[in-house]
């Protein structure tokens, strides 16, 4: 019996895969557990339409991420931290502060979890910060840390 999987199943395959299963296994396990549905011509056609829509959405998300990466390459964000004795930085700039400054200064909403900082910025100056916008797209943002 041909089955279209509705869920990822370790021994059978991934969601959306068309598999061949014995009739008893399909009727007694796969269908009652709602792991898959019988592969009728209508179900196969619906699966093809769903995969086409998913690929179209993925392409749109990739294009939007590339566009945002180009914007980020052209802008810089200014953040402030307090200075201690002898002009030494007192405190640090975190990814949350960078995201807030980007929203306030340029109106761009960036998730703080997407900002890649190996460690918080603890010195004055200009830094290039990577932002993971998409699994295939990484943008660079210039962050200037100034004395408050």
Q: What is the pLDDT, as a whole number, of residue 118?
A: 85
Closest CA to 26 of 11, 38, 43: 38
Is 142:128 a contact under the CB 8 Å cutoff? yes
Q: List 129's β-bridge partners, or say none.
A: 141
Q: What are the residue boundaries of the structural domains of the chain, listed by start?
A: 2-62, 65-147
pLDDT along the chain (148 residues), means of 10: 92 91 94 94 89 90 92 92 82 91 91 90 91 92 90
Q: Within its chain, how far is the Cα of 22 from the centroid? A: 38
Q: What is the pLDDT, as a whole number, of residue 32?
A: 95
Q: What is the pLDDT, as a whole number, of residue 13?
A: 92
DSSP label of 7: S
Q: What is the pLDDT, as a whole number, of residue 85?
A: 78
Domains 2-62 and 65-147 share a fold: no
The fold of the 65-147 domain, in CATH, is Ribosomal Protein L9; domain 2 (3.10.430)
Q: Which class does domain 2-62 fall in? A: alpha beta
CA gap 78, 11 in Å, rounded: 52
Q: What is the pLDDT, as a whole number, of residue 88?
A: 82
Q: Within its chain, how far is the Cα of 29 from the centroid? A: 35
Q: What is the pLDDT, as a whole number, of residue 57?
A: 93
Query: What string of H, E and C letters represents the secondary structure of 33-58?
Result: CCCEEECCHHHHHHHHHHHHHHHHHH
CA gap 140, 63 in Å, rounded: 17
């Amino acid at each position: 019996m041909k089955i279209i999987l509705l869920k990822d199943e370790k021994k059978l395959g991934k969601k959306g895969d068309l598999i061949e299963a014995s009739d008893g296994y399909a009727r007694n396990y796969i269908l009652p557990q709602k792991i898959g549905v019988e592969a009728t011509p209508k179900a196969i056609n619906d699966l093809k339409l769903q995969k086409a829509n998913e690929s179209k959405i993925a392409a749109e998300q990739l294009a939007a991420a590339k566009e945002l990466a180009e914007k980020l390459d052209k802008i810089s964000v200014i953040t402030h931290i307090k200075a201690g004795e002898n002009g030494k930085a007192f405190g640090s700039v975190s990814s949350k502060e960078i995201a807030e400054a980007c929203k306030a200064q340029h109106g761009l909403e960036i998730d703080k979890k997407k900002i890649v900082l190996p460690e918080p910025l603890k010195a004055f100056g200009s830094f290039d910060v990577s932002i993971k916008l998409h699994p295939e797209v990484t943008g660079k943002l210039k962050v200037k840390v100034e004395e408050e």
